[in-house]
Structure 1
Amino acid sequence: MGRQEEAIRVADELLADIELKRLKASEIVLKASRLARLVGHTELTEFLGLERNGYGTARSTNAWISRAGRWADKEKGTRYTLSIGKVEAQVEANQQAIDAMRGGGDYSGDNILLASRRHDERIITSAGHIGTWAGICAQVVATVYDMVAEIYHELLFSELQASLFADTQEKIDGSLAAASGTALDKIERVSDRLRDGDSESVSQALTTCRRLIDSCADYVFPARDEQYTIGDGVTLRVGPQQVLNRLQAHTHARGASKNRRDRLRRTLSDLYERCSAGTHAEVPVDEARFVFLQTYIVLGEILTLGASESGRS
């Protein structure tokens, strides 16, 4: 099992542990610490470290003090700094004190009313302490739950993305390999140049992207002398230089809807223009990477168009 799969499993278990109240607060903190280590979550790691080891008086921890409900008096700056394990111990100690005082005392004599009142006050005081310490435990658990739930959904989304990208990449790579025997080599060269990051390499990468578009157009719709009609009396020149027109003609021939054809045409036009401009002007490497990724995806969509949309316009 990989780290991501293990992290998803631990997060799922931890959410269930909290929802079903299967673990104490200190046990939840320890289990969440494993999740934080698996995913490298800085904020969760910091919070859980404070909960395990206790808080100091540093103002940098004030945000966590608030989230954990640990202010004794916020205006005065007093706080409850005990570790979560010791907080639980305070809950148990005060509960034991109340249990020991249940049933009242065996009072007699002139001070019976005073002794009885003091007995009741001790119970009330211990109950108040339980409320304070148990409230901290509950707030800590709630904070952990919120952060773990966020991590869990991020992990699931990441896993879904990885699966979708892997499936899409397999389809696109297969189509590109069929479209041009050197297409995948072109992609490898683009990747190498973008990793270099210098302006000359970026320019060469964008030139390669443009040639990749050209080679795909040659494959799906070879140049021809006669014009291509796409409906409503609209015709396209589809000669050797009309690369984008030929790709548009291909999407029409494959039965893509008009909305889809228009979107692909606009995207390809923007990409082709950017790739062409990038050979003459300096383009930031980050922008070039996105241009490459968009080119890869839109060509993949065009190459994998089926006839399932035939008849729609």
Structure 2
Amino acid sequence: MGRQDEAIRVADELLADIELKRLKASEIVLKASRVARLVGHTELTEFLGFERNGYPTDGSSTAWIGRAGRWADKEKETFYTQPIAKVEAQVESSQQAIDAMRGGGNYSGDVALLASRDHDTRILQSSVNLSTWAGICGQVVATVYGMVTEIYHELLFSELQASLFASTQKKVDGSLAAASGSALEKIERISDRLRDGDPESVSQALTTCRRLIDSCADYVFPSRDELYKMGDEVDLKVGPQQVLNRLQAHTHVCGASKSRRDRLRRTLSDLYARCSAGTHAEVTIDEARFIFLQTYIALGEILTLSAAPENGDS
């Protein structure tokens, strides 16, 4: 099991533990620490570190004091610094004190009233203490729950993205391989050059990227001398130099909606222009990487178009 799969499993289990009240706050903090370590979540790691070891008074923990419900007096900037395990111990101690004093005492004589009042005062103080410490535990658990829920959903979304990309990549790579025996070889060269990062490599990579568009056009719609009839639309020249026209003609043959064809035409037109600009070293390494990714996706969409006509004009 990979780290991401393990993180998803532990996070899911932890959320259920919290919802079903299966763990104490200190146990939740320890389990959440594993989630934070698996995903490298800096903020959660910092927060849980304070909860395990106690809060320093040097101001470094101020951002978390409120979220953990630890202010004793915010105006005076006093707060409860104890680690969560000691907070839990205070909860148990306060509860035991209240349980011991339940039922009152048998007081008589002149001190009965004073003794009764003292008894009631001690119960009240223990109740206040219990409320304070239990409130911190509850707030800590709520904060952990909110952060782990966010991490859990991000992990699920990332897993979905990875799954979708992997299945799409397999399909696109297969189509590119069919479009040109050297297509995947070109992609490998592009990747190598973009990793180099120097201006000459960027220029060469984008030149190769443009040639990849050319080879795909040659594969899906070889050049013709006659115009391609687009029905009610303007007929297209589809000669050797009309690369984008031939790709547009292919999308028309496949029955793609006009809006989809127009979108692909605009995308490839912009990419083709930027690939050409790349030969003059006008493209940064970061832009070149995005140009390559967008070219790969756009060509993949065109090459995997079904021959069956689409319904509607989505």
- Long gaps (5+) in structure 1: none
Q: What does residue 173 of structure 1 align with?
A: 173
Aligned length: 313
Aligned letter for 1:228?
A: Y
Spell out the pairing of 1:87-166 with structure 2 (5 A cutoff). 87-166=87-166
Distance 1:165 1:93 in 2: 54
1:125-159 CA distance string (max 9 Å, x none): 00000000000000000000010000000000000
Assess, with a 3 A threshold, how the Cα gap between structure 1 residues 13 and 244 changes in structure 2: closer, same or farther. same
Aligned letter for 1:148?
A: V
For the Cα contact (< 8 Å) 1:256–1:312, is it kept in 2? no
Aligned letter for 1:160?
A: L
What is the CA distance between 1:229 and its match in structure 2? 1.1
Aligned letter for 1:155?
A: L
1:234-256 CA distance string (max 9 Å, x none): 10000000000000000001111
Spell out the pairing of 1:118-267 with structure 2 (5 A cutoff). 118-267=118-267
What is the CA distance between 1:233 and its match in structure 2? 4.8
Q: Please say which of residues 299-308 and 145-154 is displaced more in the overlay.
A: 299-308
Distance 1:257 1:233 in 2: 13
For the Cα contact (< 8 Å) 2:200–2:281, is it kept in 1? no
Identity of aligned residues (%): 81
Aligned letter for 1:93?
A: S
Distance 1:241 1:299 in 2: 18
Give secondary structure in 2 for the equivalent of 1:236: coil
1:249-281 CA distance string (max 9 Å, x none): 000011111111000000000000000011113
Q: What does residue 36 of structure 1 align with?
A: 36
Spell out the pairing of 1:65-80 with structure 2 (5 A cutoff). 65-80=65-80
State the TM-score, normalized to the length of structure 2.
0.98
RMSD of aligned residue pairs (Cα, Å): 1.0
Distance 2:141 2:82 in 1: 15
Alignment partner of 1:281 is 2:281: yes
State the TM-score, normalized to the length of structure 1.
0.98
For the Cα contact (< 8 Å) 2:67–2:139, is it kept in 1? yes
What is the CA distance between 1:308 and its match in structure 2? 2.9
Distance 1:285 1:169 in 2: 23
Assess, with a 3 A threshold, how the Cα gap between structure 1 residues 89 and 233 changes in structure 2: closer, same or farther. closer
For the Cα contact (< 8 Å) 2:18–2:28, is it kept in 1? yes
What is the CA distance between 1:307 and its match in structure 2? 2.1
